[in-house]
Amino acid sequence: MKSSYFEDMLDKISNKLESRVNAYALLLTLIDETMIKYANSQPSVTQSWNMYELGLYLIKDKKAFVAGLRNPNEEDLDVFIENSLKKLEKIRETELLPEFPSTKTHDALPSLDKKVIDAQSNLGKLMELVSSRTRNETEIAGMISLGKREIMLRTSTGFTGKHANTFFNGYFRIFRGERSGQWAFSSTFYDEGLVEKTLDNAEFYASLKLPYLKPEEGEYTAILSPMVAGNLFSLLAYMSSAFAIQNGLSFLKPSDLEKEITTNELSLYDDPRNIELPFNTPFDAEGVSTYNKPIIEKGVLKNILHNTATARLFGARSTGNAGWIEPTPWNLEIKEGDASLEEMIKDTKKGVLLNNNWYTRFQNYTTGEFSTVARDAIILIENGEFKGLLRKARISSSYPQLLRNIRTIGKERYKIKWWEVENPFILPYVVIDNVRVTIPDFPS
């Protein structure tokens, strides 16, 4: 369908709503995506989607209602709007009401790559890139996802925004007998080199010929790969949201602003205008212009992420991070340090290098206590050398403790995204001291 079809749809919905609500926002998200799934080193499934989703944000008096509908026809759309208006009348009042800005225009972010779109209809080379890496006793699983995403935003205050970008994401898990390694990639632009480097990194961890050991439980220096650091620091970025803070889902407090919460090694940024990462956008879901900003800069908490409603509640201003319901980060970045991975390993007397993790769970959000399960290569380090592999390990800490103990930030950075790192993230390896490592009894 052409853009004119969707613009006409937004016109019709706007006309239906004008006299029936005080304010509204309409958000159309169009996705054209192709996915290749790999199993046993071969493409197992190829799927394509061409879909759109309509979101409504309706405000009347002191009530707000949010709803969404996927791929509606005209009849579905009419029913959806009427039902939404009826529900709006019945819900409770709220103090968290957005204020859609009166800005009418926005600047453009050029992040469309024709090579991504062309590759969707010619997947042969991507399939061959992976299949050609098959060797004896090697199995590859994973996926590549590529396509185009377009958003169209219309508000009752006159804002009309349109933005499109391409995406090229994937991850691979490589098995060598009972050993495994994993890596991921993310970009706005088509790059076969990213696929090859991701396979190289996963294969490196799967190919380590080290004995399996069962060391004592206790505190270790942890070298977090970008896969693990991406998971833990994306959760930190979410906890910098005013919504998380207000609802007891964060250890951070408004009074922490401009205070040192970690070592000066760490600078964590929200980067909605980084055109190399797929969550780039020139405006947020309320029509506020986005901008790149530090969440943490040299150890100091510099920004709590806001939409217009939380900003008013906190006596602040919107940071251009409005999602459809709550303020959230866009693309994320950790600024590079000055250490190579080899130097990090050499400087570690008693530690573990963690390739991957999953099942990160909080025992207490307000104190930041969590645990996560290490996955794939878990490498024991003694006196600067690899000594062996652990079959299982659980990492336990709290975010205040984790942040206090950041020792080193790596200099080489990687663009990462997969289901445990939902926001595209460019970041290096990170070294953290005094991390609790336990050896749980659970199936591999």
Q: Which CATH class is domain 3-202?
A: alpha beta
List Cβ neighbours of 171 (8 Å cut-off, separation of 6 or more). Answer: 142, 143, 182, 183, 184, 185, 198, 418
Can you say whether the dihedral through the CA atoms of 123, 54, 150, 143 is positive or negative? negative
| pTM summary value | 0.93
With vertex at residue 432, the alpha carbon angle to CA 361 and CA 419, rounded to the nearest 5 degrees, is 40
Show the tokens assigned to 403. 């942040």
- pLDDT tens digits, one per residue of 67-117: 999 988 888 899 999 999 999 999 999 888 999 988 777 788 888 999 999
Work out the number of other CB atoms within 10 angstroms of the CB of residue 351. 24
Beta strands 212-213 and 385-390 are parallel
- pLDDT tens digits, one per residue of 143-157: 999 999 999 999 999
- pLDDT tens digits, one per residue of 262-308: 999 999 999 999 999 999 999 999 999 999 999 999 999 999 999 99
Domain residue extents for the chain:
3-202, 208-444
Residues, the chain, total? Answer: 444
Helical segments of 264-340, H only: 308-314
Q: What is the mean pLDDT of residues 214-232?
A: 96
- pLDDT tens digits, one per residue of 8-53: 889 999 999 988 999 999 999 999 999 999 888 777 888 999 999 9
